[in-house]
A and B are shown apart, each in its own frame.
Chain A
Amino acid sequence: MILAFLGSGALLAGLVLAAFSALLSFWAGYAENGVMIQVGRRAFYATAAMILVAGVLLETALLTHDFSLAYVAEHSDLSTPIALVAAAFYGGQEGSLLYWTLILGILGSASLLASARIGLRLAAYSAGIMAAILTFFLVVLVLVASPFDVLQITPPDGLGLNPVLRDGGMLIHPPVVLAGFASFAIPFSFAAAALLAGRSDAAWIAHTRRFALVAWGLQSAGLVLGMWWAYHVLGWGGYWGWDPVENVAFMPWLATTAYLHSSQVQERRGRLRGWNFGLVMLAFLLVVFGTFIVRSGIVPSVHTFAVSAIGPWFFGFLGVCLLFSVGLLAFRAGDLKSHAEPAPAVSREGAFTLQNLLLIGVIVVVFWGTMLPLVSGMLGQQRVVGPTYYERAAGPLFAALLALMAAGPLVPWRHAGAPLWRSLRWPAGAFAFLLAALLVAGVRSLPALLGLSLALAVAATVVYEYARAAGRWRLAGGGWSRALALVMRRRRHYGAYLAHLGLAMLVLGLAASHFWQQEKDVTLLPGEQVAVAGYTLTYAGVQNRELADHSELVAAMSLGGQSLEPARATYAGLGGQSLTHVAISSSPIADVYVVLAGTNGDGSASFRIFVNPLVSWIWAGGAIIILGVLLGNAGERRVGVAPVAARVRSPVGAS
């Protein structure tokens, strides 16, 4: 009870402070009043502190089982393991909004601390915009979806967390993906502030890029973890279903991928300025749009999030953000004209430009697929598209993007030198090799041939780049310290290539498991065997097991010397809801994935068995992408604003 009182108070105080910080920062930035800018900034930190207090209070309420709070009673109970009770913090609508707001406060404060030197007005405006976004979230938290609402009668026990969420994945996927969503607001704020302040030069890029990379890294991790969770928990043998919830998380990632590449064109050549602002803003707008879609339930999805009162609020917020972004870009359109000479089509700039257009194309495809039910519903009978649409419409674009990923890094800036074919021989060779090998092996599906061969070509390009670096390192005399210095001097370069390598592995895993998944439904008596794609499984028998919050019906199988235990769990406390526990035997070649469908009176059990080739490569690729992001973003303090600006100026007229 007292926790609810304090929590509501903290949120209300945060709201007042955020609104104060927003108004003061805009005014002080406009007046260039240094003292007031500091006050506005401190008010922002104080807002973040208030949100943190509210977060700690909610977590305390959960861990002490304070069921007087509606949120605690609806999302936890006494039997749930304590780690999952803690995770219920972001397991519900109100808590997840509070978590989102908290991440925005923390990342926003960090970005403001790091922006001390980017110029008074720019820093003030970005603080103002972030505070305004926080104000919106706090209004929703205080008025519409408060996690601190109190029940009139305190129940003895809570309802508990949905069984699907009672998994180790719950501890890591939602916090990462929500943090990813929240973090897109930071680059947006810096972009909008730079436009407001009239600083459309490259100075803001070094700063924005870092936080865009943070957002991109978090979102990459969130997407891969989501796939991992779906694969391990849901038991349908796949990991990506082109559901609206997945699509709306994918689109901001695509837009930021485009920005991370096109911003280099601005840094190196001073071009594409307006475009870069547009991409950063687009990523944030897609996040707000996605939140609206997911939380309002206007599009049919397997995940029906409760149709809640926050839908219209996010719709309004989306409208305001869209008008603000478009208005700002139109207002500064004159300043955003490029002064640099255009580069020839075959150049690094050309490759980045084409890549950007293709990524926007993928966004359009995904957006249309997500919105079709809504649009067709307005025009007549509602229609939906399934995975086939996305594969057919986005597949060719993905193939073109992979080809660009293989060739682009080897094309020099400004113009293609004569011996371009010489550097391209590595990816081309890898492509031809795998293509020939697959053709000999009897593969005739064009998407499979292209997907796998192009992914290998991408990997070959990265290996070639690293081999060249190793050659230079050997010429310079070798040694560990020199290798480290060499990598760290061009860490953005090597970080980016590491991310490329990770993506190539991920694509190999996606393509192999997509095109060559094997599936078999079978009913077996104890002692009987079944063979799927060369793997022989023996069914041992069924047994019952009692655990803390559920009971399990385990149908044990053996695969070689290994024991697999697919099971069905039943949660007594939740109206007897049952849940599949998938058993997976993973190896670098393939996963054997066993789902227990049910058991019969005669002791036999029915299974659905999948053999999924190279799935573990997806998770390994995801991990390598994150390593690349960490390397690319590791302590970049020495790359200040001045050298970036200088680099932009010099090529103008020199080319």
Chain B
Amino acid sequence: MIRWGIAMAVVAACVGYLVYSASGGSSEYYLTVSELRAHSPTTGDVRVAGVVQDDVQRSDGGLHLRFTEKDGTASMLVDYSGTVPDIFRPGITVVADGRLGADGVFHARALLAKCPSRFSTTPYTS
């Protein structure tokens, strides 16, 4: 029983250390656009959720993208290069993963589109 306890304590300590060290280094803030505006500048990457506006400009055969992301009150210009999620289009919610540049443009390194999943097609209103 004592040995069982020791083994448990050792594994628990290792897991605790791993979780602590890994989450310290790689966790990111998850913000809305207005929260990003209010937030003091951070050094690391952040994820910003907002709604894609109608001004989407594509270039480079669709691999480069510039658009405005907006929530209730604030908006920001997002610049992104890479494959664009299939469901990306004005009106959907996207999560841009990257950082706000000195030019005021948000440079996204990844773009996650919220999957309008099978469980949420627009219901009929009758």
| A residues adjacent to B (C-beta < 8 A) | 70, 73-75, 91-93, 96, 151-153, 155, 159, 161-165, 234-236, 295, 300, 302-306, 308, 342, 345, 353-354, 357-358, 360-361, 364-365, 368-369, 372-373, 376, 381-386, 388-390, 392-394, 396-397, 521, 523, 577-580, 595, 597-600, 604-606, 608
Contacts and interface: CB of A to CB of B under 8 A. Distances in A.
Interface in B4-39: 4, 7-8, 11-12, 14-15, 18-19, 21-23, 25-31, 35, 39
Nearest to B4: A353
Interface in B90-124: 93, 95, 97, 112-124
A70 B124 contact: yes
B52 interface: no
Contacts of B47: 384
Contact of B7 (A302, A354, A397): A354
B77 interface: no
Contact of B121 (A159, A358, A382): A159
Contacts of B39: 381
A91 B121 CA distance: 11
A368 B23 contact: yes
- Chain B contact residues: helix, strand, loop or mixed: mixed
A371 B47 CA distance: 17
Interface residues of B, number: 54
Contacts of B84: 597
A34 B22 CA distance: 56
**Top 7 A-B pairs, shortest CB-CB distance:** A598-B62, A606-B61, A306-B120, A393-B22, A392-B22, A361-B15, A388-B26
Nearest to A160: B121
Contacts of B15: 361, 364-365, 393, 397
B124 A372 contact: no
22 contacts: A74-B123, A75-B121, A93-B119, A152-B126, A162-B116, A300-B95, A304-B115, A305-B119, A353-B7, A361-B11, A361-B14, A373-B30, A383-B30, A384-B27, A384-B28, A392-B26, A393-B15, A396-B18, A578-B86, A579-B86, A598-B58, A598-B63
A376 B30 CA distance: 10
Interface of B: 1, 3-4, 7-8, 11-12, 14-15, 18-19, 21-23, 25-31, 35, 39, 47, 49, 58, 60-63, 81-84, 86-87, 89, 93, 95, 97, 112-124, 126
A382 B7 contact: no
B43 to A, nearest CB: 14
Nearest to A154: B126
Given A523-B63, A578-B86, A364 B117 contact: no
A114 B51 CA distance: 54
Given A345-B3, A388-B25, A598-B58, 15 more contacts: A74-B121, A151-B126, A304-B93, A305-B117, A306-B120, A342-B1, A353-B4, A360-B11, A372-B23, A381-B31, A384-B47, A579-B86, A595-B83, A597-B61, A598-B61
B19 A368 contact: yes
A385 B44 CA distance: 12
A394 B21 CA distance: 12
Contacts of B114: 302, 304
B63 to A, nearest CB: 5
A383 B63 CA distance: 29
A606 B112 CA distance: 20
A357 B83 CA distance: 40
A335 B35 CA distance: 54
Contacts of A385: 22-23, 26-28
A604 B30 contact: no
Nearest to B62: A598
B118 A597 contact: no
A521 B63 contact: yes
B37 to A, nearest CB: 14
Nearest to B47: A384
Contacts of A394: 18
B126 A159 contact: no
Given A345-B3, A388-B22, A397-B15, A605 B61 contact: yes
B28 A386 contact: yes
A187 to B, nearest CB: 24
Contact of A357 (B8, B31, B62): B8
Contacts of A353: 4, 7
A140 to B, nearest CB: 14
